[in-house]
Amino acid sequence: MQLNFEYLPATGGAQQELVLLHGWGSNREIWRHLLLPLRPWANITLVDLPGCAPGCDLDAPPQLAQTLAAILNCSPAKAVYLGWSLGGQLAVELGARYPERVAAVVTLCSNPRFVATTQWPGMDAGQFSAFRAVVVADPGAALRRFDSLQITGSRQPRQLLRHLPRQGRERASRQLLAGLHWLATLDQRDRLPALIQPQLHLLAELDGLLPAGLEQSLTALLLETPSAQVQVLAGASHVAPLDAPDTVAQEIRVFLANAGVLNKSPHPTQTPTKKEVADSFSRAAGLYDSVAKLQRDVGAQLLTSLDQLQIVPATVLDLGCGTGYFYADLRRRYPDARYLGLDLAQGMVEFARDRAGGAEDWLVGDAEALPLAANSVDLVFSSLAVQWCYRPEHLFAELSRVLRPGGYCVFTSLGPDTLRELRAAWAAVDSHQHVNTFLPPSELATAARQVPGIQLELDNGLFRMEYQRVRDLLAELKTLGAHNMNRDRPAGLTSRRTMAGMLQAYEAWREDGVLPATYDVIFGVLEKA
């Protein structure tokens, strides 16, 4: 079983992996409001659960064990599992069955025994059976009725109703009975006290779907379990991910910090900001092609790698399109495909749009936060843009998100040996960083392994450019917009003495009357399963 999922790396320093499991009749879109307060400190995995999410049908109705295994297959090696409603019960099952994979369990508006018994508060068994009969007769009507149940008790029911996920509703089928079966049969009252992981159970004050006595029952059940906490979210309804996202995120972070399962935030890097990169290349757009021989040679070689792909794309994304130089080549190769040109630098996008006569779609955007829908692209072509992505886990997660299953990304990037001659010449005269630093293939490979569902193959090649004078190389880098942008670059103008020393040191590299400049080029092919 393969699940639809997304992996969204932290926008700040990642302190933990979080896997978010939605409830019955919903899908991963229920978590969108919660992402903003969670992603600054957590990597997020979102999944759509068959048997619960409308439209996620399989060849046969899903079984519980099969579904749990599929969740683990698309999740990090170890993570905190946060489950809402029925998703909370699934998180508890994962914690009990696979303790080595689960760092902590957090449930939100969830009941370990959903259907009431004489000893436990829950939904009346007769009401549950009647609702199941509606699902059998008309799954779509049942989902509409369930939406009304979920917002019962909330202070803003109409507003919440508009935000409930609607995707897949037109394809709702009786496979949703699988999730109802889990709700009817799961009884985790023995599971919870036995969990070895820290556990937090968040209930909502205005939850109209769960019984009012659940807080007292859960507290009594976990009275002798010191690693467990039960809390009530004031003013929240059953759809707490929508009406109390900031409070939910804050409670989770405080709990995980107190439980000792948050990692320390990494130190900030000294790499250039995206704004610095974008501004530099925007200024260079008009003259870029006049000095971009290396970029043309590398891109031409990358184009040949497309011959090996067995794909007829409906949509092609030119990621880091720059001046749109490869637009014509890609259109000739794939005349029936929709072309999207995207670059971080607005100046580049405007130049490319004018060059193409306004045809096609041109976007300003960040490769680490693509302004594109999930599963919307078949082929990504990216030549010498990836080196400006210093968080490759974000890049690969975004590529995985926007690529359709079976899609590819072919790319080139610059490696750490780029301009090694210039780097050595500067190192001979001072200790400052004068040459941009680029990530090695090993870091790209490690980042790709963190993103489930993709495979990455890498290769290297050296490209040599030749100059009569070092100043010609420096002028070319400036014209390209690729001059030194690292945060550790020297402040102010370089002194004449230092510059003269660097120029003299570079002369040691002269061969046959020319000065070489080596570019370490990484070639990558990424495939989404």
> Which residues are marked as active site?
85, 207, 238
Could you tell me whether strands 454-467 and 361-364 are parallel, antiparallel, or unpaired per DSSP bridges? unpaired
- Please list the alpha-helical segments (H only) found in 30-166: 32-38, 64-73, 86-97, 125-137, 139-150, 157-163
224 three-class SS: coil
Rounded to 5°, the CA angle 337-406-300 comes to 55
Query: Cα–Cα distance between 257 and 103 in angstroms, integer?
Result: 12
Residue linked to tokens 């003269």: 500
CA distances from 126 to 122, 180, 445, 483 (A): 12, 14, 54, 72
Contact 318/342 with Cβ under 8 angstroms?
yes
Residues forming beta bridges with residue 19, ordered by sequence position: 45, 81
User: What phi-psi label fits residue 81: left (phi over 0), alpha (psi between -120 and 50 degrees) or beta?
Assistant: beta
Amino acid letter for position 277: V
* E-strand stretches of 312-437: 315-319, 338-343, 361-364, 377-383, 403-414
User: Maximum Cα–Cα distance for the chain, whole Å?
Assistant: 93
